[in-house]
Amino acid sequence: MTGRLHGTVALVTGASSGIGEATARSLSEQGATVALLARRRERLTSLAEKIRAAGGTALVVAADITDQPQAAAAVDQVVAELGRLDTLVNNAGFMGLGPVLNAPLQEWERMLEVNVQGLLYVTHAALAHLVRAAQDSTRQVADLVNISSTAGRVARRGTAVYNLTKFGINGFAEALRQEVLAKHVRVSVVEPGAVDTELSSHLRDGVRQSIERQVRGLELLRPEDIADAVTYIVTRDRRVAVNEILVRAADQTW
Spatial CB neighbours of 226, under 8 Å, sequence gap ≥ 6: 19, 22, 23, 147, 190, 192, 195, 247
> Pick the catalytic residue: 162, 227, 230, 233?
162
The tens digit of pLDDT for each residue in 183-234 reads 999 999 999 999 997 666 667 666 666 766 777 778 999 999 999 999 999 9
Is 216 exposed, middle or buried (CB count within 10 Å of its CB: 0-12, 13-18, 19+)?
exposed
* Residues in the chain, pLDDT under 70: 1, 198-202, 204-209, 211-212
Report the pLDDT value the prediction gives residue 203, as an integer from 0 to 100.
72
Q: Which residues contact 240 (CB under 8 A, 6 or more apart)?
A: none
Domains and CATH numbers, the chain: 9-241 (3.40.50.720)
Q: Which of 105, 103, 88 is nearest to 188 (CA)?
A: 88
162 belongs to the catalytic site: yes
What is residue 208's predicted lDDT score, i.e. its pLDDT? 64
CB burial of 121-140 (b: ≥16 within 10 Å; e: otherwise) equals bbbebbbebbebbbeebebe
pTM (predicted TM-score): 0.95
